[in-house]
Structure 1
């Protein structure tokens, strides 16, 4: 029987003030997007019992970036992960 050992690393970063501000802004936008998507799913289920899939919400992202241009500051892959 082989024993597997997992090794992990921790890294400390020291962002500048502008980088901290940018990160906080992006985290805030991701939080709002997550809550908006969750609310959309809950309301659809409560209204008529339908479910909204990840792909349906993902396909709405380009339109969301047009309606809310501040989301263009967040990478598309990050928004898809949210």
Structure 2
């Protein structure tokens, strides 16, 4: 997610206010917020879910809708999202 530089503090405050709600949402096993070292207005959330159904339940929840409504107005580029699966872990 790329943010307008002047909106980064607002985004971080919103994440801080909601991170435990997201992490404690049924089916969420892990949540991280990552920041690009070179492009510091770009952030990534990295989460592990029990399954696709749990993630879909979150995406359709009032919690997500509220967070997304507040967050999307802060972007300075189109956000991207991926669902991935582990091929190998050492």
Smaller-chain TM-score bracket = 0.3 to 0.5
Q: Which has the higher contact order (CA 8 A, sep 6+)?
A: 2
Q: Which has the larger radius of gyration?
A: 1
TM-score by length of 1: 0.37
Task: Judging by fraction of residues, say which structure has more helix.
Answer: 1
Task: Judging by fraction of residues, say which structure has more strand.
Answer: 2
